[in-house]
Amino acid sequence: MKYVLVYWSRFGNGKRVVETLSVKLGKKGSEVKILDAKEFQGKVLPEADLYVFSAPAEKFTIPKDMRRLMKGLQGMEGKRYGLINTHSMKRDWLPKMDKFLSGKKMVKLAEVEFRMGDGTEDGKGLREGWKQKLDDFADKLTGG
């Protein structure tokens, strides 16, 4: 399996989630590519069997670079994907993230949100149990 993980992260919490996920997915003999949305300019992602998009909630939406990237994607028909959202307030922004992919005829396999705790701005905001949550997400992506 080939995976492409696209993320945007300010303080590194989301990046940590994506990097941890890449190790989990890579273990099953798969190829995993990580792309930073701050750097990726194109509209066509590298070919993969499955895509994961990870972004934080900021100012009641998702950061602009990530919004633009998700909205602008081309050639994603029938592609499978998963979503990751980190957020500090009660509400998660997974539905909003999904909207940016709507109309692309993609197939969602799983989604997961992480509510941040103390230490977020130092990249240490992930709460106890996050690894288990991520394991469950990875299982859904890979079919267990």
- Positions touching ligand FMN (CB under 6 A) are 9-15, 56-60, 86-89, 116, 120, 123, 125
Q: By C-beta, is 8 or 76 nearer to ligand FMN? A: 8
Contact 113, 119 (CB under 8 A): no
Output the smallest distance, CB 59 to ligand FMN, in A: 5
For residues 100 and 62, the answer to whether their CB atoms sit within 8 Å is yes
Cα distances (Å, whole numbers) of residue 45 to 33, 34, 88, 109:
10, 11, 29, 18
CB of 143 to ligand FMN, least distance (A): 27
Let me know: does 19 contact 34? Beta carbons within 8 Å: yes
Closest contact distance (angstroms) between CB of 6 and ligand FMN is 13
Rounded to whole angstroms, the Cα distance separating 13 from 83 reads 15
